């Protein structure tokens, strides 16, 4: 079959796509409208809306442009163009830089890819990609091509070389740092307790410090243990010196929440309901008079219809330094869950005496959360 050449200087529009039968993927949730498509996505995925084949595109910029609107998108949705070159390789261009999120009225978005003079694209498919559930409508789907402006070859090569060198140095540095951390962690696990996954090292001496020199002059038999003990003192963290003690417990019989709107009392605790993203201020502890300890905010929680996530949040205000927070985003509630215990810690060093502790619960979207057995515990640290 004879291929048709495209004259990009006089005809920038390659193709305008219509919802014709056979031109798009027929999947559940995809329906046609008068001038486009309507996708009701139950999960993430990619659907093809059209294909242009038998092309000879080279030395140009190809733009995939469309008018879109969305509703109830939990995660981004974007345009995606996939193309195949004459040598059989396949590539894609995704419009992640300008995605759709949440609810949007009609707007124009696009994505593009550039073809060098020695590259030839033979076919291009236009797609709509979603990363989660939601509704997307799309119309005026167009594929255009424009001649690329002349560029300085030497400057282009220089920039590409510097970018490649920078990426290579970055990966080498990360690899070396990871090797050092693994070696230190392995040594400490043999000669002492592990430092834990949340501790990091950010500095490594090129020369031996006076402490290391003094240690090296000790007996050879005790040197490894002394070196590792010194390393643990440099990168280690405060450790508990006693059991956790109950500092404050909250009950509906004796305490009232700060936020009243959307909060109701139940038999054993409180119920918070929200139709949007919101932080509920539950309680505050003024002048707790604590330092050099781990503050634990603990509560039993269950959720109903939480579309995104819900979690505990604690703020500590330290005079002269500001406010700092701890959030339970690593173990949030989603959907419908039963009663479970959740907690978040906050570490205070010597001299750090907060004058106010705030206890909140956060919902990133619509849903209902019930809380009970809310308490604050204090664990002394070394």
What confidence score (pLDDT) does residue 193 get? 39
DSSP state at residue 222 = G
What confidence score (pLDDT) does residue 290 get? 92
From 235, 255, 289, give the residue that closes a domain: 235
From 185, 212, 235, give the residue that closes a domain: 235
CA-based torsion, 230, 234, 239, 241: positive or negative: positive
Q: Do 209 and 161 belong to one domain?
A: yes
Q: Do 121 and 22 belong to one domain?
A: yes
What confidence score (pLDDT) does residue 225 get? 56
Q: Do 174 and 264 belong to one domain?
A: no
Q: How many residues does the chain have?
A: 382
Contacts (Cβ under 8 Å, ≥6 apart) of 95: 64, 78, 79, 80, 109, 110, 111
Domain count, the chain: 3
Domain range for 283 is 245-380
Whether 360 and 316 have beta carbons less than 8 Å apart is answered as no
From 147, 182, 214, give the residue that closes a domain: 147
What confidence score (pLDDT) does residue 161 get? 83
Q: Do 332 and 255 belong to one domain?
A: yes
Q: Do 37 and 141 belong to one domain?
A: yes
In the predicted structure, residue 359 carries a pLDDT above the cut 90: yes
Q: How far is 242 from 259, CA to CA, in rounded Å?
A: 35
Strands 90-94 and 60-85: antiparallel
Percent of the chain exceeding pLDDT 90 equals: 39
Pick from 24, 51, 28: nearest CA to 39: 28
Structure token pair of residue 296: 């634990």
Domain membership of residue 5 (yes or no) is: no
- The residue-averaged pLDDT of 276-297 equals 92
Tell me how many helices (H) and strands (E) the chain has.
Answer: 3, 20
Q: How far is 347 from 294, CA to CA, in rounded Å?
A: 5
For residues 340-358, b (16+ Cβ closer than 10 Å) or e, as one string?
A: eebbbebbbeeebebeebb
- The residue-averaged pLDDT of 336-357 equals 91
129-168 confidence digits (pLDDT tens): 999 889 999 999 999 988 865 554 566 677 778 888 888 8
Please give the sequence-ordered ranges of beta strands (E in DSSP) within 116-231, or none if there are none: 121-130, 134-147
User: What's the predicted TM-score (pTM) here?
Assistant: 0.43
Q: How far is 63 from 86, CA to CA, in rounded Å?
A: 19
pLDDT band at 188 (very low <50, low <70, confident <90, very high): low
3-class secondary-structure state, position 313: strand
In the predicted structure, residue 336 carries a pLDDT above the cut 60: yes
Task: Identify the burial level of 293 via C-beta atoms within 10 angstroms of its C-beta, where 0-12 means exposed, 13-18 middle and 19 or more buried.
Answer: buried
What confidence score (pLDDT) does residue 203 get? 38
Percent of the chain exceeding pLDDT 70 equals: 81
Tell me how many degrees the CA angle 296-298-299 measures, rounded to the nearest 5: 170
Whether 188 and 195 have beta carbons less than 8 Å apart is answered as yes
In the predicted structure, residue 325 carries a pLDDT above the cut 50: yes
Q: Do 76 and 103 belong to one domain?
A: yes
What confidence score (pLDDT) does residue 212 get? 46
27-85 confidence digits (pLDDT tens): 888 888 888 999 998 888 889 998 888 888 888 999 999 999 999 888 899 999 999 99
Domain membership of residue 3 (yes or no) is: no
360: domain CATH number?
2.60.120.260
pLDDT band at 2 (very low <50, low <70, confident <90, very high): very low
Q: Do 167 and 225 belong to one domain?
A: yes
What confidence score (pLDDT) does residue 197 get? 38
- The residue-averaged pLDDT of 337-358 equals 91
Q: Do 135 and 199 belong to one domain?
A: no
Q: Do 229 and 133 belong to one domain?
A: no
Q: Do 67 and 51 belong to one domain?
A: yes
- The residue-averaged pLDDT of 187-210 equals 43
In the predicted structure, residue 232 carries a pLDDT above the cut 60: no
Structure token pair of residue 139: 């119309």
Domain membership of residue 1 (yes or no) is: no
What confidence score (pLDDT) does residue 228 get? 58
What confidence score (pLDDT) does residue 209 get? 46
The HSE-up count of residue 137 (CA atoms within 13 Å, CB side) is 13
Q: Which residue matches tokens 């604690």?
A: 314
Q: Which residue matches tokens 């282009």?
A: 156
Domain membership of residue 363 (yes or no) is: yes
Contacts (Cβ under 8 Å, ≥6 apart) of 127: 46, 47, 48, 49, 79, 80, 81, 82
Whether 339 and 300 have beta carbons less than 8 Å apart is answered as yes
Q: Do 175 and 219 belong to one domain?
A: yes
249-269 confidence digits (pLDDT tens): 999 989 999 999 999 998 889
Average pLDDT value for the chain = 81
Domain membership of residue 8 (yes or no) is: no
Domain membership of residue 4 (yes or no) is: no
């Amino acid at each position: 079959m004879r291929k048709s050449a495209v004259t990009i200087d006089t005809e920038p529009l390659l193709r305008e796509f219509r919802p014709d039968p056979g031109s798009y993927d027929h999947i559940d949730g995809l329906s046609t409208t008068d001038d486009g498509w309507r996708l009701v996505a139950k999960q993430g995925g990619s659907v093809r809306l059209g294909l242009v084949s038998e092309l000879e595109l080279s030395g140009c910029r190809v733009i995939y442009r469309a008018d879109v609107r969305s509703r109830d998108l939990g995660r981004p949705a974007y345009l995606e163009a996939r193309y195949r070159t004459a040598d059989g390789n396949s590539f894609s261009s995704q419009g992640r830089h300008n995605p759709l999120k949440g609810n949007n009225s009609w707007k124009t978005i696009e994505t593009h890819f550039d073809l060098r003079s020695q590259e030839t694209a033979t076919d291009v498919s236009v797609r709509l990609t979603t990363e989660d559930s939601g509704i997307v409508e799309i119309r005026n789907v167009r594929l255009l091509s424009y001649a690329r402006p002349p560029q300085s070859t030497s400057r282009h090569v220089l920039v590409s070389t510097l970018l490649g060198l920078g990426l290579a140095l970055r990966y080498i540095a990360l690899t070396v740092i990871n090797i050092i951390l693994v070696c230190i962690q392995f040594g400490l696990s043999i000669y002492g307790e592990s430092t834990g996954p949340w501790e990091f090292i950010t500095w490594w001496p090129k020369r031996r410090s006076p402490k290391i020199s003094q240690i090296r002059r000790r007996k050879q038999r005790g040197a490894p243990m002394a070196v590792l003990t010194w390393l643990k003192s440099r990168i280690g963290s405060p450790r508990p010196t006693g059991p956790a003690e109950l500092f404050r417990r909250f009950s509906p019989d004796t305490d009232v929440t700060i936020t009243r709107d959307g909060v109701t009392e139940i038999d054993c605790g409180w119920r918070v309901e929200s139709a949007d993203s919101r932080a509920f201020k539950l309680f505050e502890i003024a002048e707790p008079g604590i330092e050099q300890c781990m503050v634990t905010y603990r509560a039993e929680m269950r959720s109903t219809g939480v579309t995104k996530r819900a979690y505990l949040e604690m703020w500590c205000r330290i005079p002269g330094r500001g406010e700092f927070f701890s959030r339970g985003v690593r173990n949030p509630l989603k959907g419908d869950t039963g009663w479970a215990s959740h907690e978040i810690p906050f570490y205070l060093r010597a001299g750090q005496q907060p004058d106010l502790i705030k206890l909140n619960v956060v919902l990133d979207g619509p849903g209902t959360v019930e809380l009970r057995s809310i308490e604050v515990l204090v664990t002394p640290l070394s």
